[in-house]
Every structure is written in structure tokens, then in C-alpha cells.
Structure 1
Amino acid sequence: MSTPIASAAPYYARYRPPYPAECYALLADRFALDGSQTVLDLGAGPGTLSLPLAPLAEHVYAVDPEPAMLAEGSRLAEEQGRTNTSWLRGDAAGIGRLCLPRLDLCVIGGAFHLMDRVRVLADLDGMLAPRGGVAVVTTSSAGSGRSGQGPSWPAVVDEVCARFLGPDHRPARPVDEPDDAVQDLTDRLAKSVFSRVGITTWEQSTRCTLDQLVGLQFSRACSCPARFGDRKDAFESELRSALLAHDPGGTYVRSVTVTAAVATRPRR
């Protein structure tokens, strides 16, 4: 059965920006990806990580609990000619029941903080090859920490969302996890069997059009179209008007920090 996040799937596939090419270069170097490896993308969504990894692997298994996300991923894979990807419905708690072959790498995006991380890492210990490992790739708002520096348009989105969804909904910040998540992630990985942890970050700053910025809001679980019901069109109209009033030029800077935490077993 689909959930409200199903309504976000087409927006997620179209408007979520890709991770930097340097991220895949890092994974290719760290895990010697040469087209002969098997990769699991856990919490894959529409394949944001899976599809760029496909040319580097023999096969990629993209696993997600939401059928609509898998359908979008499958569609994109067909468009891109990625014939070495499998789209499997499942969640982190049941990865052992998927009967996957031995894995060389498991990548996990922003959904990691929603998982039972202790259990997932323990399960992956039995699924990953001796030299295999885990890479958790997350996005956080550049300038969203203590300094408070960053683009001003998120406050406009927050105000419109609050009028439609209530003051507790704040979807504008381009963030997968809280500001202190990197240290928490490092600590959790270090306490697992994959205790050899390396952290790499990249700063990204891109210019979004009005259409891209609106689509980005609909790609989020907290502000997907299903959250608005029959007020979706009214929300979109007000959001567009408010953003254009804020910046009549219709372009908006989106600044984020992408973090890749690569974790392997200690060398013996």
C-alpha cells in the first residue's frame, strides 16, 4: 500500500539535484569499482544514488518501501539504458529476506536517520564481502548552523507552508538530517562492525528557477502534494507569488553541504 510520500515521487525524480560527481569518484576509488561489483542502494527512492552508480557496477539493487519511488526509478533506468539495476520493494528491517547475493558496497542516502541503524549495520555485516563497506551520503543546508548564514528564500517558503500546514512544518531547508547529524553518524558507524570511518564533504551552490524551487518543495515528505489535498493548487499559487515578490528575478541560490561517510571493517 502506498503512503502520502507516493505523491512526491515524480517531483523527487525530476527536481532533486544530483550528488556531485566527486562523490562517485570517491566511492569508485575507495571500493575499486570496476564494473564487476554488486551494490545495494538501501532506501533508494527513485535512484538518486543507484543510477549514477550503475555504470560502475555489475549490478545495482535499489530497495525502497514505496512502490511509486521504485516506479520512477525504473522509468529513469529505462530512459538511461541502465539494464543492470533491479528495483525491489522492501525496507531496512527486512533486507535479509531479499536473498541478495554477496554485496561489495551498500549506499544509503538521507533515509538512514529513519532506520534502525544498529540493526541495519548488523544485518549488513552478514551481507557485505570482507572488503566491502557502507557509504552514507547526506545533504545539509550550507549556512544553516550556528552562523545562521544562508539564502533568504527558505523563510518565504516556511511562512507559506505554515499557513497551509501549520507552524510545525518547515520543509524549505534543503536538509536530510539535523545540523549535528555528521558527528552522530560518525559515532554510530564507529560503534558498529564498520568502525573504520572516513568523512568527506563537498559544498554545492546552484541557481534554481521558480519551477525548480516549487518542485523541490513537493519532493519532500513533509510538503508532498498529498499533504495539501485539494489545497495543493492554492498552495502552489501562493508560494509562487510570495517567491516572486521576494525576488522578482525568479532565480534562487540553493546552497548545501553534501557529506559522504564511508565505513569499512578494521584492517586485520
Structure 2
Amino acid sequence: MSTPYASAAPYYARYRPPYPAELYALLTERFALDGSQTVLDLGAGPGTVSLRLAALVEQVYAVDPEPAMLAEGCRLAEEQGRTNIAWLRGDSAGIGRLCLPRIDLCVIGGAFHRMDPTRLPAELDSVLAPRGGIAVVTTLAGAAAGQQGRGPAWPAVVDEVCARFLGSAPRTGHGPSTHPAGGAEEAEQGDELQGLEGLEGLQELEDRLAKSAFSHVRTTTWERSTRCTVDELVGLQLSRPRSSPARLGDRKGAFESELRRALLAHDPGGTYSRTVTVAATIATRPRR
């Protein structure tokens, strides 16, 4: 039976915006990536990070509990000629069972907030090289432009349509995910931590890592503006487990039509802008 994560996979691969190039430049600098390293992408989804890192390192292990996400990643890797990615079904609680070689860098999306914050760094301590580290990449939602500065911003339009079809979204928290690994999708609302709660979540992340073996913690942030068409925004909603095709069922067509109608009524121009902050929190062992 299809799960929300499985049915969201093709939309996730197509419509999720990529992380900025500055992220990969930072990882290259901090971990001296020169084509000889081995990287673990935990909660990899369809390889959003893995596919970019594959050009910078020798081997990538992309781990996710959802087979459909891994299948999308494998398809994209074949299209791009990336042959140095191993797609493994697994989760954050079973790193030891994966029998991985020594890892130089573990990259995790915002799914870190749905993993066990104490157990995960301890598990990684046993597989990461002495100078290795963890990079947690989080997206914090920013402002969205309303039509000519009037009325609600377009995310409120999306939220209203989603609420009519699916009910109100649960509040983002930091407890364990119902997804086995907190994999490609870290919350029912998607991969953005909203407003002040997002900033508090980032501080909580730093505090948790600082109490682990990887206690040297530093966060770098970048602001980026995104522009989406109506079709891209509709696809983005279908990439989220909460509003995935499996959740919508036979209402999927009606949902797509209503969302397009509401967005174009909000702004007939058909282009929607938003500013987000991408944060990379890098944790390494203290130098002796």
C-alpha cells in the first residue's frame, strides 16, 4: 500500500528547491573535500544532497527508510552519470547495522529534529573518522510577498486550501517522527521551521550537538530568494507527506485545481516569491 512518503517521492525529486552552492563550498572547505572522502547522507530522500556531493568525494552512502525515495534518487543518479552513490534502505537508529566503512562526513537535512538527539551523535561517533564531522542543514521560513503588498502572503493561501482538504496542520515540534528515520521529510508541515520557533529550534540543535562528542559547533547561514510558478507551487505541496497524493486520494485532482485557482486569484501574475534562510550547523570533535 502506498504511503505518504512513497507517493510524494517523484514530486519531492522534481519540485524541492536545491540547497545553495555556498553550502557545498563550505563543506568542501571545512572537510577538505578533494575527491577522496566517504560521505554519509542520512535521511537522503531522493538524493538532494547526495547528487551534488558525489562530484566532490569518492563515495556517498545515501540512506533513507523509504524505498520510493531511494528509487527516485537512483533514477536521477543514472540520468546524471553518478556512479559513486550507494542507495541504502535504513534509518538513524540502525547505522551500526549498515556495516559502513569509516565516514569522513555525515550530512543530515532538517530531519535531525526527528531523530534521537542523544543516540544519533553517539552512533555516529563510532563510524566517523577522527577529523570527521556532522553537518545538519536546516531551512528556516522567511517572508513571502503579498499581491502588491496587500492582503495575505501566498503561503496563507496555500495553508487555507490545504486546511480545507486536509484539516489544520499540526504544530511543528521536536519529538520523534512517525517516519521510521525522520527521513526525507522531517515534519508533516514540510521542511521549514517557522518563525521564532525555527530560530529556537536552531539554538536547540546547537545545544544538543555541543553536549555530544562533536562539541565544536558552528552555524553558517545564507538568505536566498525563491520564485515559483503556480505549477511548481502545486508540485511542492504534493511533495509533502501531509498533502501527498496518498493523503489526498481521489481528491488530488480537485486539490490541484482549487490550489491553482486560489493562487491565481491571489496574484494573477502567476509568480510567487519567498525568502528563506538556509542554515548549516557543522559539529566536529574538539581538536586535541
Amino acid at match of 2:223: E
**Unmatched 5+ residue regions in structure 1?**
145-150
Q: How does 1:1-268 map to 2 (within 5 A)?
A: 3-143=3-143, 152-168=153-169, 175-176=192-193, 178-179=197-198, 180-268=200-288
CA distance in structure 1 between the partners assigned to 2:217 and 2:189 by the alignment: 30
CA distance in structure 1 between the partners assigned to 2:88 and 2:136 by the alignment: 20
Equivalent residues of 1:2, 1:68 under 8 A apart: no
**Unmatched 5+ residue regions in structure 2?**
145-151, 172-187
Structure 1 residues 56, 251: closer, same or farther in 2, change over 3 A?
same
CA distance in structure 1 between the partners assigned to 2:104 and 2:247 by the alignment: 38
Aligned partner of residue 55 in structure 1, secondary structure: coil
Amino acid at match of 1:220: R
Structure 1 residues 49, 256: closer, same or farther in 2, change over 3 A?
same
Aligned partner of residue 136 in structure 2, secondary structure: strand
Report what 2:179 is aligned to.
Answer: none
Offset of residue 2 of structure 1: 5.8
TM-score by structure 2 length? 0.87
Spell out, residue by residue over 1:175-218, the C-alpha distance to the aligned partner (whole angstroms, 9 max, x if none): 15741211011101101100000100000102111111111111
Amino acid at match of 1:166: G
Aligned partner of residue 259 in structure 1, secondary structure: strand
Amino acid at match of 1:205: S
Amino acid at match of 2:130: P
Equivalent residues of 2:102, 2:128 under 8 A apart: yes
Amino acid at match of 1:58: E
Q: How many residues align?
A: 262
Deviation beyond 2 Å, 4+ runs, structure 1: 167-174
Equivalent residues of 1:158, 1:169 under 8 A apart: no
Q: Which moved more, 1:151-160 or 1:190-199?
A: 151-160
Offset of residue 3 of structure 1: 2.8
CA distance in structure 1 between the partners assigned to 2:191 and 2:98 by the alignment: 32
Equivalent residues of 2:189, 2:242 under 8 A apart: no
TM-score by structure 1 length? 0.94
Equivalent residues of 2:169, 2:189 under 8 A apart: no
